[in-house]
Amino acid sequence: MELEFYKHLYLSGALKKKKRSVIRKLKHHVFSPNLYLLVLSQGEQNHFEFFSTNLLKQHFFKDTSFFIVGVAESYDQAMYLVEEITQEVYTKTKACNLREYILNNQSKSGEGSVGNP
């Protein structure tokens, strides 16, 4: 499983202070049952998907790549992250193309284009 992280990763609550630790654990596939990942949708018709890291323990995902936009401490916090991102994108662009905004920011930060993870 390949995990790529958004250069400006969104984190909820107490995770903001633990950013490096959270990223390191996820890169080493140490999945906490109470963490939710906000990732770019596999299909371009949607912006994001979010789910518990417990899901990634299934062998089905071993060959899957994810572009992680945010990490939350709960399902509710993941919903708030989506709201936060939507508000930020709308404020800055007066539109709600979240996917395009994230990919453009990633590209501008020197990380390259992610495409369809």
Amino acid letter at 86? T
Angular region, 92: left φ>0, alpha ψ -120 to 50, beta rest: alpha
- What is d(CA 32, CA 13) in angstroms, rounded to the nearest whole number? 16
Q: What is the pTM (predicted TM-score) of this model?
A: 0.87
For residue 34, the SS3 value is: coil
pLDDT in tens, 37-49: 999 998 877 889 9
Cβ neighbour number for residue 69 with a 10 Å cutoff:
26
pLDDT in tens, 54-110: 999 888 888 999 999 999 999 999 999 999 999 999 999 999 999 999 999 999 866
Strand partners, 67: 4
